[in-house]
Amino acid sequence: MHTSVPALPTALPEVEVSTTARRATPLAVLCRSGDPTPAPVTRETELTGEWMRAVALTGKAGEVQPGPVGSAVRWVAGVGEGEPDQWRTAGAALTRALNARIDTDTHAGRAAERTIQLELPADAGPDHIADLVVGLRLGGYGYVVSGEPEPPRVRTIRLVVGDKAGELEAAAHRAAVLAQATALARDLANTPSNVKDPAWLARMATRTAGRAPGVDATVRDHHWLAEQGFGGVLAVGGGSTRPPRFVELAWGRRGAPHVVLVGKGITFDTGGISIKPADGMHLMRTDMSGGAAVIAAVEAISQLGPDVRVTGLVPCAENHVSGSAYRPGDVVRHYGGRTTEVTNTDAEGRMVMADALAYAVERLAPDLIVDVATLTGAMKVSLGLRTGGVFASEDAVFDRVRAAGERVGERWWRMPLPSDAGTVGDEFAEAVRSEIADVRQCPPGPGGIAAAMFLREFTGGLPWAHLDIAGPARADRNYDEVTAGATGFAARTLVELVSSYSL
């Protein structure tokens, strides 16, 4: 049964930059660990050493304390040693504390203060502000099921920065756009799959493009996919009554460096005939997190306006079990003619992405292809739940991905990509060959590496990076700016990566 379409994206608090504080607006201040005196110290008579000792104020990153009774300072938030990423943690913790107080006041029938100003120390730089804004906006994120009322949340946070507003406003604006991209990716991935089928995801991509300046959106249906030979997408989507779609989002001028982003858009994954265990299958509504990150990134890139050209491709399908589902042992012909021997229908992501990669090579001829997917459980075993894996065709490509992630607070680790040229691990390189088709869907070897080697077959030798986000795409609890559920991981990295190619 389908329910109504949620009102996406989730509203995040607006963040303003100001040179002056307003007397009537509640105030929050920041403090560092070691010397937890809030800085700037403009209210030292209100935040006494006696009060600090009474509440055991440490200033560690993420610590939030209500201010003294009767003080103009309502909240004190710790930023640890003051590193930029600790400011992101502090911002998220402060927003969560504000929302909790608003919720308590609302339920008690008291007037809830939904605007606050945060006084910043004089040495706050653009990097600090950027991380703080991401934390402030995302820390209070919460997906709201369609039809349910929005919970009361903080609406506006004013950053009081003294006389440096000019140099900090640009950093705050960019961070606000990045945070909104992360939130949109979370919204799309968190939406339940009785609502979210391939057609729905395509509509959301089109709607997102409609509010993004200069983005052209094209959606192709299963008839077009059949005419063009997208055998991977059609095979995976063949078991569902809800047919697949192929989304193409384009922005930027011709002649600029061209980056193609490919995102896995599996709106629900039962595993197909190679069915998954029931335990944990409900999380497969987030199996299109890669596609969500691509949709959100293209919108954010259009808002920031770097001199690049970006194309986002999202093959959308639902991997279901039925009499028309594809089978182990099938041979599937992809876009462009290359064939795959199917060995496990639960390795469906690489099947749909192979079509999209081949399409990107033949139709778009980009300077760089980046694909992103919740692809293998092996990556969770290798890197845990907070780090994404990167398989890169060139050192320079990996360096750009890593640097982009560092700038936006997303962690990446390079994984080996064996070649046929006698490098370490080349014993796996030939395993991708099939005796009855061009390639095997699941060649023997380490799961994450095997998947990357399969995808490489469809990249045409172009510069390429494969981002496996199976671990960090979902969270079972809140930490830093992340909230439980879909995390929106990779959206910010994609924006920064594409922007790094700006002329």
Alpha-carbon Rg for the chain in angstroms: 24
Asked if 172 and 129 touch (Cβ cutoff 8 Å), the reply is: yes
Of 484, 432, 472, residue with least CA distance to 96? 484
Beta bridge partners of 469: none
Of 123, 356, 146, residue with least CA distance to 247? 356
> What value, to the nearest 5°, has the Cα angle with vertex 353 and ends 350 and 354?
80
Measured in degrees and rounded to the nearest 5, phi and psi for residue 309 equal -120, 130
Of 194, 195, 139, residue with least CA distance to 8? 195
- Separation between Cα atoms, residue 396 and residue 495, nearest integer Å: 17
- Separation between Cα atoms, residue 425 and residue 192, nearest integer Å: 40
Q: Is 110 known to be catalytic?
A: no
Q: Is 60 known to be catalytic?
A: no
Coil vs helix vs strand at 87? helix
- Give 334's DSSP letter: P
Of 120, 116, 142, residue with least CA distance to 131? 120
Classify 109 in phi/psi space as left (phi over 0), alpha (psi -120 to 50) or beta. left
Q: What string of DSSP letters covers 392-457?
A: ESSHHHHHHHHHHHHHHT-EEEE-----SSS-TTTTTGGGGB-SSSSEESS-SS-HHHHHHHHHHT
Residue 266: other Cβ atoms inside 10 A: 31
Whether the CA torsion 100, 106, 107, 108 is positive or negative: it is positive
Residue with tokens 């700038």: 407
Among candidate residues 32, 350, 380, 440, the one labeled active-site is 350
Asked if 409 and 85 touch (Cβ cutoff 8 Å), the reply is: yes
Is there a cis peptide before residue 9, judged by omega within 30 degrees of 0?
A: yes
- The single-letter code of the amino acid at 127 is D
Length of the chain: 503
Residue 346 contacts by C-beta under 8 Å, 6 or more apart in sequence? 269, 271, 272, 274, 275, 276, 319
- Separation between Cα atoms, residue 84 and residue 395, nearest integer Å: 27
Coil vs helix vs strand at 95? helix
In whole angstroms, how far apart are CA 450 and each of 264, 348, 421?
17, 14, 17
Among candidate residues 114, 207, 276, 363, the one labeled active-site is 276
| Residues identified as active-site | 276, 350
